[in-house]
Amino acid sequence: SGWGAVAADTLYPSSDWSRATASPQLVAEVTATNGTVSWIWLKSLPAATGWTNATGTFTTPATAARGTVLHLLTANGTLDTD
């Protein structure tokens, strides 16, 4: 889920679809107004050959300016998102 500008101290939902041969991590990447990047772990997702709805929520920090949600593989494998 690619976003752009976000509001500070705000709860955001995330929902997209993925399939992966290894267990992905759902993570929010937030860039602060001073350019510092931080990550907020949302959840571990199961490896799945079929499409799975990946949902989560996170609250932006007080200095948040931009944000996006990422799927990260911590082991070798393939990942598709939609």
Q: Which two tokens stand for residue 53?
A: 């709805």
pLDDT confidence of residue 82: 87
Per-residue b or e along 8-28, where b marks 16 or more CB atoms closer than 10 Å to that residue's CB: eeeebebebebbbeeebebbb
Using one digit for the tens of pLDDT, what is the confidence trace for 11-43? 999 999 999 999 999 999 999 999 999 999 999
Nearest Cα to Cα of residue 49 among 16, 23, 28: 23
**pLDDT band for position 2 (cuts 50, 70, 90):** low
Specify the pTM.
0.87
